[in-house]
């Protein structure tokens, strides 16, 4: 499940392009395996390199949570309700030596736990409209989301730097 990239493209690629190129084969395999009704986590995920596992765990969360403060709230609650996935996000950020987004994720966890989250994934009843009906929750989420937006570029830069230092964990260069 390795991305393909020409050596010269690798040298010139922006951070997001590099990350997405490394992520695409993994998400493609994930969707294919899930469509067959199989468990990606128990099978193919275990075959990924440590870097690919960290990239997958973080990037799935990031690409959903970064879209809006509602998405940040909902996806954080969703992943928190699945302890292995939430731990995976935090472990991924530690893997990439991130010191910017990890504290935000930890603050989000603390905020959600103060509000009796996670709710069981089986009975997951978090709604995007929660923020519309709870001004206090919105006022707590809003600055965290603003901080997430500000932290995003630095986090992506550190992930891309790791990929550039360890390309064989992610890409087949030619």
Instruction: Report yes or no: 149 and 87 within 8 Å, Cβ to Cβ.
Output: no
The Cα–Cα gap between 110 and 159 comes to 25
pTM to 2 decimal places: 0.92
Residue-wise pLDDT for 36-91, tens only, equals 888 888 888 889 999 999 999 999 999 999 999 999 999 999 999 999 999 999 99
The Cα–Cα gap between 3 and 149 comes to 27
Decide if pLDDT at 2 tops 90: no
In the chain, where the domains are located:
3-173
Q: Kindly report the CATH number that applies to the domain delimited by 3-173.
A: 1.20.1420
Q: Tell me which DSSP letter residue 89 carries.
A: H
């Amino acid at each position: 499940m390795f991305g393909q990239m020409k050596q010269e493209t690798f040298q010139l690629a922006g951070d997001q392009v590099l990350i997405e190129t490394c992520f695409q084969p993994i998400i493609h395999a994930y969707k294919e395996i899930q469509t067959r009704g199989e468990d990606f986590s128990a099978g193919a995920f275990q075959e990924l390199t440590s870097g690919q596992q960290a990239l997958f765990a973080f990037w799935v969360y990031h690409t959903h949570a970064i879209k809006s403060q509602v998405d940040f709230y909902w996806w954080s609650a969703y992943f928190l309700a699945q302890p292995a996935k939430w731990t995976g996000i935090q472990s991924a950020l530690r893997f990439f030596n991130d010191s910017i987004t990890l504290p935000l994720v930890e603050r989000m966890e603390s905020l959600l736990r103060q509000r009796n989250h996670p709710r069981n994934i089986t009975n997951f009843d978090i709604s995007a409209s929660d923020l519309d009906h709870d001004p206090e929750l919105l006022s707590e989420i809003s600055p965290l989301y603003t901080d997430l937006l500000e932290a995003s570029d630095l986090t992506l830069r550190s992930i891309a730097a790791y990929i550039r230092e360890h390309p064989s964990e992610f890409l087949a260069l030619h």
